[in-house]
Amino acid sequence: MSIVKINVLTVPEEQRETLEKRFASRAGTVESSDGFEWFELLRPVEGTDTYLVYTRWRDEESFQQWMSGMAQASHGGGGAEGERPRPAASGSTLWTFEVVQQGAPKSS
């Protein structure tokens, strides 16, 4: 079964737009990575400053391979003359889950 990686980002209100713009303009390399299955950026609606970055992978090895190469390229750049921009998040935690059950809408 697949694995899910959820990056829990603490994003101050004044940095939300910056974070969302960075994800919107990211290199997109994750979508073409071997073993990649799904991505979602989840914006908090009420009572928290926590964004969730949800990715789903075929297996742990696929995620680790992406982290060792492609992730660096998709998270880098954006600053002047090779300078990295200041992070929009003030904190980050990575959660890992195995998918043990799943469901989808039934076709009629």
Q: In what order do the strands lie in the sheet with 50-57?
A: 36-42, 50-57, 3-10, 91-98
For the chain, the maximum distance between any two Cα atoms, rounded to a whole number of angstroms, is 55
Assigned CATH for 3-98: 3.30.70.100
What are the residue ranges spanned by the domains of the chain? Answer: 3-98
Q: What is the pLDDT of residue 73?
A: 59
Q: What is the mean pLDDT of each run of 10 residues along the chain (108 residues)?
A: 95 94 83 94 94 96 89 53 76 94 90
